[in-house]
């Protein structure tokens, strides 16, 4: 059995260059159109084998299925070959941090999880099952997912609030021998690094020469900081509502304290605006607004990645007055840094080699491959990442991730 896209409409058409962008409907029209599209849900389950007569039925179900069950009972590793397990992902949430909506609960989160499954299939050819859990206690969440895990080849955690998301992901990966990937953290980080690589290429700079300031010390901000450092970025500072994270602060959570120890080599101690003085890159994953004067105080030729939705931390019109490269999380502006560029190919690559986990090198490889989709003649200030509809994206990421998994020794085939 396989999860398939139900609606006969494909995703909005867009040319592979990403140049054509559909206009955003008015709020009332958007509500009505979205409700109409979602009626009955966006997914269904379809059989991959025929059941035309009694002979087919006897093979697909009893008595034939019993022979397959007995074979797997004798050799458990055969479950990957004779069921859908090795090719299907569980998309799991508790509804505590959904898009820009916050803690709206499991039921209200389900349309987003269905959408995530649709994107897995549309862009990576990966089957997945949306699962919204009615529990917010980390112990209960972990135990529930562990008990479900025999049915899946990977776990995609989604829209779980920080700092619980860090603990949940770590504990699940410690207990499971399949990939556990919190997309809000690592998908965002991979796409950000890919965009930064090409922004540096466009402006003739090196990652090692860049000083980056990240606004937001939640799931995405922490993951972005770590992947940028892993890629060799010169210095990274992370700021929360109270200012830059540094080891002298006494109000930090364990996660923030660890990231403070790993970042901020310049020893900054002030506000976000103070940290932006002379900075080469701003990465916003926090919401709120950054004053224009703070952007103007950045280094010449700066990059502004204002990724909050629906309102970027710095409006692109403002950012373009001071920055060489501007990116957002929105589809109606150039340079959309969208997780859909990363997670379908990452999981496709991990599943293709039956990886036991997704390593840091696999994420770095995904970012490099994603950046490399655009050739030297394609990269530009208003095009630092490819369109999600570019057919080269998922295969390039998949191949790079699979190869990195083999090198890291986490591939089982």
Output the six-digit token pair for 55: 């002979």
Rounded Cα distance between 122 and 115, Å, is 10
Which superfamily does CATH assign the domain made up of 72-178 to? Malic enzyme, N-terminal domain (3.40.50.10380)
Average of per-residue pLDDT across 344-349: 98
> Across the chain, what does the average pLDDT equal?
93
Asked if residue 184 belongs to a known ligand binding site, the reply is: yes
CATH placement of domain 183-412: 3.40.50.720
Asked if residue 53 belongs to a known ligand binding site, the reply is: no
* pLDDT at residue 157, as a whole number: 98
Rounded Cα distance between 48 and 212, Å, is 48
Beta bridge partners of 89: 128, 154
Asked if residue 264 belongs to a known ligand binding site, the reply is: no
* pLDDT at residue 24, as a whole number: 58
How confident is the model over 47-87, as pLDDT tens digits? 999 999 999 999 999 999 999 999 999 999 999 999 999 99
Provide the H-helix boundaries in 237-387. Answer: 254-262, 272-276, 292-296, 316-319, 343-352, 360-372
Identical fold at 72-178 and 183-412?
A: yes
Average of per-residue pLDDT across 280-286: 97
Output the six-digit token pair for 169: 């992901």
Q: Assess whether pLDDT exceeds 90 at residue 1.
A: no
Average of per-residue pLDDT across 83-100: 95
Residue 171: how many other CB atoms lie within 10 Å = 18
Asked if residue 338 belongs to a known ligand binding site, the reply is: yes
Average of per-residue pLDDT across 162-184: 97
Question: Higher pLDDT residue, 9 or 272?
Answer: 272
Average of per-residue pLDDT across 129-153: 97
Q: Assess whether pLDDT exceeds 90 at residue 100.
A: no
Rounded Cα distance between 38 and 31, Å, is 11
Closest C-alpha to 233, from 269, 202, 279, 277: 279
Catalytic residues: 61, 116
Task: Give the percent of the chain with pLDDT over 90.
Answer: 90
Residue 300: how many other CB atoms lie within 10 Å = 9
Residue 22 banded pLDDT, cuts 50, 70, 90: low
Exposed (0-12), middle (13-18) or buried (19+): which is 206, by Cβ within 10 Å?
Answer: exposed
Q: In this structure, what DSSP letter does residue 23 have?
A: P
* pLDDT at residue 400, as a whole number: 98
* pLDDT at residue 4, as a whole number: 41
Average of per-residue pLDDT across 117-131: 97
* pLDDT at residue 27, as a whole number: 74
How confident is the model over 295-339, as pLDDT tens digits? 999 999 999 999 998 899 999 999 999 999 999 999 999 999 999
Q: Assess whether pLDDT exceeds 50 at residue 372.
A: yes
Question: Higher pLDDT residue, 12 or 209?
Answer: 209
Q: Assess whether pLDDT exceeds 60 at residue 14.
A: no
Q: Domain locations in the chain?
A: 72-178, 183-412
* pLDDT at residue 9, as a whole number: 36
Average of per-residue pLDDT across 27-53: 93
How confident is the model over 373-406, as pLDDT tens digits? 999 999 999 999 999 999 999 999 999 999 999 9
Q: Assess whether pLDDT exceeds 90 at residue 289.
A: yes
Is 411 within 8 Å of 405 (Cβ atoms)?
yes
Residue 99 banded pLDDT, cuts 50, 70, 90: confident
């Amino acid at each position: 059995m396989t999860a398939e896209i139900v609606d006969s409409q494909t995703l909005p058409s867009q040319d592979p260059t990403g140049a054509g962008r559909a206009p955003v409907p008015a709020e009332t029209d958007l509500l009505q159109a979205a409700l109409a599209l979602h009626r009955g849900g966006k997914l269904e389950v379809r059989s991959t084998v025929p059941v035309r007569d009694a002979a087919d039925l006897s093979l697909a179900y009893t008595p034939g299925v019993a022979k397959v069950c007995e074979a797997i009972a004798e050799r458990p590793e055969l479950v990957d070959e004779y069921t859908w397990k090795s090719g299907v992902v569980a998309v799991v949430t508790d509804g505590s941090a959904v898009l820009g909506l916050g803690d709206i609960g499991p039921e209200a989160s389900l349309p987003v999880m269905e959408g995530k499954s649709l994107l897995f299939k549309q862009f990576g050819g990966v089957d997945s099952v949306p699962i919204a859990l009615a529990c917010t206690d980390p112990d209960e969440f972990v135990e529930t997912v562990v008990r479900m895990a025999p049915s899946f080849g990977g776990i995609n955690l989604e829209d779980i609030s920080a700092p619980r998301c860090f603990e949940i992901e770590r504990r699940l990966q410690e207990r499971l021998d399949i990939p556990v990937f919190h997309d809000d953290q690592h998908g965002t980080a991979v796409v950000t690094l890919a965009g930064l690589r090409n922004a540096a290429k466009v402006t003739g700079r090196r990652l090692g020469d860049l000083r980056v300031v990240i606004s937001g010390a939640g799931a995405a901000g922490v993951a972005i900081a770590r992947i940028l450092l892993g890629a060799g970025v010169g210095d990274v500072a992370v700021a929360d509502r109270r200012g830059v994270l540094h080891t002298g602060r006494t109000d930090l959570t364990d996660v923030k304290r660890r990231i403070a120890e790993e970042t901020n080599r310049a020893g900054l101690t002030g506000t976000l605006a103070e940290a932006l003085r002379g900075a080469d890159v701003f990465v916003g994953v926090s919401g709120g607004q950054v004053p224009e004067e703070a952007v103007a105080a950045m280094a010449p030729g700066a990059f502004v990645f204002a990724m909050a939705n629906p309102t970027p931390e710095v409006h692109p019109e403002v950012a373009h007055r001071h920055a060489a490269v501007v990116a957002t999380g929105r589809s109606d502006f150039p340079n959309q840094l969208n997780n859909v560029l990363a997670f379908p190919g990452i999981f496709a690559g991990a599943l293709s080699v039956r990886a036991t986990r997704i390593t840091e090198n696999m994420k770095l490889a995904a970012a490099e491959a994603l950046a490399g989709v655009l050739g030297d003649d394609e990269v530009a200030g208003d095009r630092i990442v490819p369109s999600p509809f570019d057919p080269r994206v998922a295969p390039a990421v998949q191949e790079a991730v699979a190869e990195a998994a083999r090198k890291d020794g986490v591939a089982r085939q």
